[in-house]
Amino acid sequence: MRRLNVALAERSYPILIGSDLLQNAENLPPYLQGPRVAVISNTTVAPLYLDTLLATLEKVGVGVTPIILPDGEKFKNWESLNAIYDALLAARCDRGTTLIALGGGVIGDLAGFAAATYQRGVPFIQIPTTLLSQVDSSVGGKTGINHPRGKNMVGAFWQPKLVVADTLTLRSLPARELSAGLAEVIKYGLVRDLPFLEWLESNMDRLVAGDDEALAYAIERSCRNKAEVVANDEFETAKEGGRALLNLGHTFGHAIESGMGYGHWLHGEAVAAGTVMAAELSRRLGWLSAADVDRVRNLLQRAGLPVCGPMLGAERYLEFMSNDKKVSAGRLRLVLLQSIGTAVTTSDATREDILATLTACCHE
Amino acid sequence: MRRLNVALAERSYPILIGSDLLQNAENLPPYLQGPRVAVISNTTVAPLYLDTLLATLEKVGVGVTPIILPDGEKFKNWESLNAIYDALLAARCDRGTTLIALGGGVIGDLAGFAAATYQRGVPFIQIPTTLLSQVDSSVGGKTGINHPRGKNMVGAFWQPKLVVADTLTLRSLPARELSAGLAEVIKYGLVRDLPFLEWLESNMDRLVAGDDEALAYAIERSCRNKAEVVANDEFETAKEGGRALLNLGHTFGHAIESGMGYGHWLHGEAVAAGTVMAAELSRRLGWLSAADVDRVRNLLQRAGLPVCGPMLGAERYLEFMSNDKKVSAGRLRLVLLQSIGTAVTTSDATREDILATLTACCHE
């Protein structure tokens, strides 16, 4: 089992990474603050892993309230959140009840926001079951729901007490979702870890094939990168650099997700196409070469990811992008690549640069 | 102008108390993090004070989005919260927008929770316009909304950057609401400040008559007490004492509010009747004398407050009380008085003691 620490002073917590962790009863109890937990999962993940988790928790005498939601990004909304509150109140869960998220990013964000806000905050544990959530959303404390006017517009920073990434759960993951997770893995290499990017270029085939050891290494290295960034900028307040750099490709990606309606493109797919856009825009600013852009495109393609955005119309993209919350005082700030392995936040790109990039990077 | 500090390390903030503060343009700008604010108020308070505040803000070049909600505890719900999110998104407010609550406790709790959760948190300023909110809810960072199953069941701790208590706003306050605020003022004396309780016994008539200087003193001393307690227990996690002590009378009071339906009794009125219940139960445990209980009852009565609860039925009270979030692992923990001026949290009271107290302290 691999073990990492997210260093956030009194909010520090470990990430456990390995195979078959859900079955090991000794992993969870040290992190429970009372004898009760509520497990929040969805109709896809619960049939696969809930029984294993319940058995593990019952072995150590913990009472469990399961709360099963429908599966999908379109349920990351107020109604689902309220269903969680209702179930917690019906079961008389109090401030000592630990909420456990068992599922992907949607479940983690929903359960985390419920934990942040139920009775003004209860303890929270993440058990991410998708690659995307294992390498990204389960670490760092971002929680929230979508609003009809935009993604993640309502939420909170709420750190978990523990993250458990069991690589066995990836065996049931559809190939398309594994690829979506790889988009964020590749991001860490592009943004701040060139040696990792090179490792990914050498090992992409093993990852796509679901090689357990390669996946565990990629998850650990991704989480290590994320943990370092989060430790230095917990609340995303850094003016330069910091957490915002992890949004490479995300402002473009969010525009794709909003424009297509949530759920048509997977988040990682939208980020992949958005990452190519960011690389192409970086080339237009003179920071990357055409070969660099090809390198980014090739690696994403080998991971089974889309490298062009849908034809929303460049103006429409821009509108969605300025709805994105990474707008600061009206100026469109973007994360771009100074070089492969080094990201920057910048307002240097002109409206024309962005429109040209969008036109170049979209197809029917 | 009186000025107090709430000492919470990097979340410390000042409370300004005085007359005519809304008109003084120099008070707010140092606490704004950007050139935009959204002022959240209600249909009762906005016609009285919004123009003054807008003029003050415009004088310093700040752009304002006013968001006016219907007035009343029954609107402290998800729908109002969502109306705030909608208005913020429609006005393209970003993370640099400061939310200002202009109103009583309901507006403060709603606006504060919106600030805690809009785009995972934006800066917040409290301008409480009722005595209750000036001495209690505006200080300490508790925010939230009600849920059909219970009061304040959904919320967050989110500290303001500044609290401005303008005593001029109390001139428009109905007498009944002034009294409701005095319930919390008296609470500070009972819980931890015997000299203040004695001052209140000498000055209650001035307070009820709306004497400006007496009110400013009572607000400052109340806020000083609250700030000290909050500084030592920001997140209400202390096992003994701490913030929980400020809930004297509140578990009983919440049962009254839930049992009667929110809005029939004012919060302070329910707390007043609940405080007499807590005193009576303290007497049954041998901590207070009958004369002590009379002393509590008399002071509350002089403040124009109810000292008996409604006849909900003792069993029904108990059920509402155990729904209250101050239940720890199934045991009913209550704040009671060890003596006048000293509160404790205790699970000593038996079910029979509580039932007898409820029967003794209610009438038709």
Q: What is the ipTM of this complex?
A: 0.89
Q: Which of A59-63, A321-325, B81-85, B351-355 has the highest mean pLDDT?
A: B81-85
Residue A235, pLDDT above cutoff 70:
yes
CATH number for the domain including B97?
Answer: 3.40.50.1970
Helix or strand (DSSP H, E) at A179: helix A175-192
A96 contact residues in B (CB cutoff 8 A): 328-329
Same domain, A327 and A206: yes
φ, ψ of residue A254 in degrees (nearest 5): -60, -35
Same domain, A238 and A307: yes
| Domain-embedded: residue A179 | no
Report pLDDT for B149: 85
Same domain, B20 and B56: yes
Residue B2 among the catalytic residues: no
CATH number for the domain including A247?
Answer: 1.20.1090.10
Residue B146 among the catalytic residues: no
For the ranges A72-86, A349-363, B78-92, the lowest mean pLDDT is seen at A349-363
A82 contact residues in B (CB cutoff 8 A): 78
A144 contact residues in B (CB cutoff 8 A): 117, 120
| Domain-embedded: residue A201 | yes
Put simply, whether B79 touches A (Cβ < 8 Å) is no
| Domain-embedded: residue A19 | yes
Put simply, whether A89 touches B (Cβ < 8 Å) is yes
Same domain, B235 and B345: yes
Half-sphere exposure of B6 (CA within 13 A, CB side): 28
Average pLDDT over residues B60-66: 93
Name the residue among A173, A203, A160 with its Cα closest to residue A185: A203
Average pLDDT over residues A331-339: 91
- Asked whether the beta carbons of residue B34 and residue A329 sit closer than 8 angstroms, the reply is yes
CA distance B199 to chain A (A): 35
Helix or strand (DSSP H, E) at B39: strand B36-42
- Asked whether the beta carbons of residue A156 and residue B86 sit closer than 8 angstroms, the reply is no
Same domain, B210 and B347: yes
CB–CB contacts below 8 A, A to B: 96
Q: Under a CB-based contact definition with an 8 Å cutoff, are residues A218 and A207 in contact?
A: yes
Radius of gyration over every alpha carbon of chain A, rounded to an integer in angstroms: 20
Report pLDDT for A29: 83
Residue B240 among the catalytic residues: yes
Summarised one tens digit per residue, pLDDT across range B81-109 is 999 999 999 999 999 999 999 999 999 99
Is residue B316 helix, strand or coil?
A: helix
Same domain, A306 and A354: yes
Same domain, B59 and B182: no
- Asked whether the beta carbons of residue A119 and residue B325 sit closer than 8 angstroms, the reply is yes
Same domain, B200 and B327: yes
Annotated ligand binding at A109? The verdict is: yes
> What domain range includes position B286?
175-363
* CB-neighbour burial class of residue A352 (10 A; exposed 0-12, middle 13-18, buried 19+): exposed
- Asked whether the beta carbons of residue A153 and residue B95 sit closer than 8 angstroms, the reply is no
| Domain-embedded: residue A103 | yes
Same domain, B181 and B317: yes
CA distance B9 to chain A (A): 14
Point out the catalytic residue in the list B42, B146, B161, B184. Answer: B184
Report pLDDT for B326: 54
- Asked whether the beta carbons of residue B153 and residue A328 sit closer than 8 angstroms, the reply is no
> Catalytic residue numbers of A?
120, 142, 184, 226, 240, 243, 247, 250, 254, 267
Q: What percent of chain A shows pLDDT beyond 90?
A: 78
Of A127, A147, A172, the domain-final residue: A172
Same domain, B143 and B223: no
Same domain, B209 and B289: yes
In chain B, the number of structural domains is 2
Of B129, B156, B172, the domain-final residue: B172
| Domain-embedded: residue A322 | yes
CA distance B262 to chain A (A): 18
Report pLDDT for A295: 98
φ, ψ of residue B32 in degrees (nearest 5): -90, 135
- Give buried/exposed letters for A142-152 (b at 16+ CB in 10 A, else e): bbbbbbeebbb
Residue B331 among the catalytic residues: no
Q: Are strands A63-69 and A98-103 parallel, antiparallel or unpaired?
A: unpaired
Query: pLDDT band at A239, cuts 50/70/90?
Result: confident
C-alpha B315: how far from its chain's center?
Answer: 27
| Domain-embedded: residue A311 | yes
Report pLDDT for A216: 95
Of B131, B157, B172, the domain-final residue: B172
Same domain, B36 and B155: yes
Annotated ligand binding at B130? The verdict is: yes
Report pLDDT for B363: 77
Summarised one tens digit per residue, pLDDT across range A112-168 is 999 999 999 999 999 999 999 999 999 999 999 999 888 889 999 999 999 999 999
- Average pLDDT value over all residues in chain A: 93
Query: pLDDT band at A87, cuts 50/70/90?
Result: very high
